[in-house]
């Protein structure tokens, strides 16, 4: 007799990036892997959405209009309601200093663009502790 399948609640990911193609890419890859994806186009919108909804992972670009990724992460980490949400920073900036700055701002992990689909899903699964 087979066990009944236990429904897994799909982890919710907020993608914050000003590039429309980049957001679409993350959405396509992550949704195919079973994640639920919400988008924001800059740090201000990302911060507001992170406060308004529950997310299991934030994927944050660095160079964005209105509020950059560093500032958004610092704001998130100052807010008791959302400060524990894991954050993955994905940036074009490949220097070690950029990664250190991201970690100091509150990132839990740092990847350099472009990110292969399997890398993105593996890291998202690890960071959300999910079985999707």
Partner 1 sequence: MGLVKSKTLSAGAFGGDDGGRDLSALLADLAARDSSVRRAAARDLANYPQAAMALCDRLEKEASPSVRAVLFTSLIRVQDGEVAARLAACLRSDDAQLRNGAIEALQEMPGAVAPHLQALLADPDSDVRIFAVNILGALRHVSAPQWLADVVRVEGHINVCAAAVDALAEVGGLEAIDALEDLRRRFPGEAFMAFAIETAIRRIRGK
Q: Judged by CB, which is closer to partner 1: 12, or 74?
A: 74
Is 42:67 a contact under the CB 8 Å cutoff?
yes
The secondary structure of 11-71 as a DSSP string is PEEEEE-S-HHHHHHHHHHHHHTT-EEEEESSHHHHHHHHHHS--SEEEE-SS-SSS-HHH
Q: Does 71 bind partner 1 (CB under 8 A)?
A: yes
Q: Does 104 bind partner 1 (CB under 8 A)?
A: no
Q: Does 25 bind partner 1 (CB under 8 A)?
A: yes
Q: Does 24 bind partner 1 (CB under 8 A)?
A: yes
Residue ranges in contact with partner 1 by CB under 8 A? 19-22, 24-25, 28, 62-66, 68-71, 92-93, 97, 113-117
């Amino acid at each position: 007799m087979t066990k009944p399948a236990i429904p897994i609640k799909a982890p919710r990911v907020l993608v914050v990036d000003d590039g429309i193609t980049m957001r679409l890419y993350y959405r396509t890859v992550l949704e195919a892997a079973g994640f639920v994806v919400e988008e924001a186009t800059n740090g201000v919108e990302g911060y507001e959405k992170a406060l308004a909804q529950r997310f299991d992972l934030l994927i944050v670009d660095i160079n964005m209009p209105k509020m950059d990724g560093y500032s958004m992460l610092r704001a998130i980490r100052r807010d008791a309601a959302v400060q524990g949400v894991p954050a993955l920073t994905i940036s074009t900036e490949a220097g070690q200093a950029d990664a250190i700055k991201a970690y100091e701002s509150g990132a839990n992990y740092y990847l350099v663009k472009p990110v292969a689909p399997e890398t993105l899903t593996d890291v998202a699964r690890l960071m959300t502790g999910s079985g999707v």
